[in-house]
Amino acid sequence: MDRMCSKKFCTVQEIKSVPLQKIMDLKTVYCFMVHYFLIYNSKIFIEGKRIPNIGNKEVNIHQGTIQGRIRNIDPNILEGKTLYNEGHYVEFLGIPYAQPPVGPLRFKDPQPPKPIQGILYAHSPSSECLQSYGNVSGSEDCLYLNVYTPKLPHIGFTLKPVMVWIHGGAFKSGDGYSNSGPEFLVARDVLLVTFNYRVGIFGFLSLEDDILSGNYGLKDQTQALRWVQENIAQFGGDPKRVTIFGQSAGSACVHYHILSPLSKGNYLIFSLLILWPLFISEILYLL
C-alpha cells in the first residue's frame, strides 16, 4: 500500500490533499485520524498537580444531589493560548454510574445506579477496578466516573461540547483518573468525562455461553455513555455533541462502539476520535 504521507508524520497540507477514497481505507483511516489529532491537540492530557480548590458547587442529577469543587486552571497549561472561560472549572469525582458489580452482580451486566441519599460529596476519585499489574490493586467496587466542566448552566446558557475519555491498559489495567488532567479542554469550554470500567478477568472473561458471556468492561462503558446522555446537561454539557476517544485499549473500545448495536441503537455516540490502532478481532478473555 502506498504511503499516505511523504514522511513518518503528515503535514497539514498532506492531510488535506489525501483523496477521500484513500482516507476511507480501513488500513489508513487510523493514521489519518491520529496525525490530524496530534497536529492540533498534542497536549490534551497533562500529568501533574491539580490546583487547590477555591469553593464548592452542587448539581442535581437523576440520582440525587452531588457536590463538586471549583479549581483554578493552571496558567502554564495555556501557553499563551486563548482562555474561553473565567479561569476556573468545577470537578466532580467518583460519581457512581452503575451499581457495584459485587456479589450476585459479579460477571453480570452493569445495573443502573441507586438513588443518592442526602448529598454525595464528589471530592475524591474512586478506587481503580481490581487489576494485577505487578501487584494486585484496586477494588471490585469501581464503576465511577469524573466530570470536569468549565461552568455550570444558568439562564440563557449554551450547552458545551463533551469529550469522553476511555483509558487504555491492554484491557487488564488502568483507570479513569490517572494521567487525565482536564485543564487543556476546560480552558477551551469543553467538558471532559472520564471513568473506570472492569478490566482483566472481571471485565472480559468469557465461557462463550449465556452464563458467562463476557465483555462486561465494554458493557460498563455503554452504561457510562448512557449516564452521560441522561445527566451531562446538568453540568452544562450538550448530550447531542458527545465525542468519545481513547488511547491504546481505549481506542480499540471506541472502534467496538462504532460496530456495536448497543451503542448505535441508543444513539450514544455522535462523533468518534481514535488515538491508537484499530482493532478488528473480537475481545475474548479466556483462562
Distance CA 101, CA 94 (A): 15
Contacts (Cβ under 8 Å, ≥6 apart) of 215: 203, 204, 206, 283
My answer on whether 16 and 101 are in the same domain is no
My answer on whether 106 and 35 are in the same domain is no
- Distances, alpha carbon 3 to alpha carbons 32, 34, 40, 54, 280, in Å: 11, 15, 21, 51, 21
Asked, for residue 48, whether it belongs to a domain, the answer is: no
Among candidate residues 116, 220, 233, 209, the one with its CA nearest the CA of residue 175: 220
* Per-residue model confidence as pLDDT tens for the chain (287 residues): 445 455 444 554 554 455 545 544 444 444 444 444 433 443 444 333 455 556 789 999 999 999 999 998 877 766 666 666 678 899 999 999 999 999 999 999 999 999 999 999 999 999 999 998 778 888 999 999 999 999 999 999 999 999 999 999 899 899 999 877 798 899 889 999 999 999 999 999 989 888 888 899 999 999 999 999 999 999 999 999 998 988 888 888 988 888 888 876 444 444 555 555 554 444 443 33
Q: Give how many domains the chain has, as a whole number.
A: 2
My answer on whether 112 and 142 are in the same domain is yes
- DSSP 8-state class, residue 126: P
Query: How many other CB atoms are found less than 10 A from the CB of residue 9?
Result: 12
Contact 222, 126 (CB under 8 A): no
Residue 124, helix vs strand vs coil: coil
Distance CA 86, CA 94 (A): 25
My answer on whether 34 and 164 are in the same domain is no
Among candidate residues 99, 77, 93, 84, the one with its CA nearest the CA of residue 143: 99
My answer on whether 165 and 26 are in the same domain is no
Asked, for residue 134, whether it belongs to a domain, the answer is: yes
Contact 76, 56 (CB under 8 A): no
- β 64-72/131-133 pair status: unpaired
My answer on whether 61 and 29 are in the same domain is no
Can you spell out the DSSP letters for 42-110?
A: TTSS--SPPPPEEEEEEEEETTEEEEEEEEEPPHHHHTTPPP-SSSEEEEEEEEESS----GGGTTS--
Range of the domain at 260: 53-275
Whole-number pLDDT of residue 52: 56
Asked, for residue 157, whether it belongs to a domain, the answer is: yes
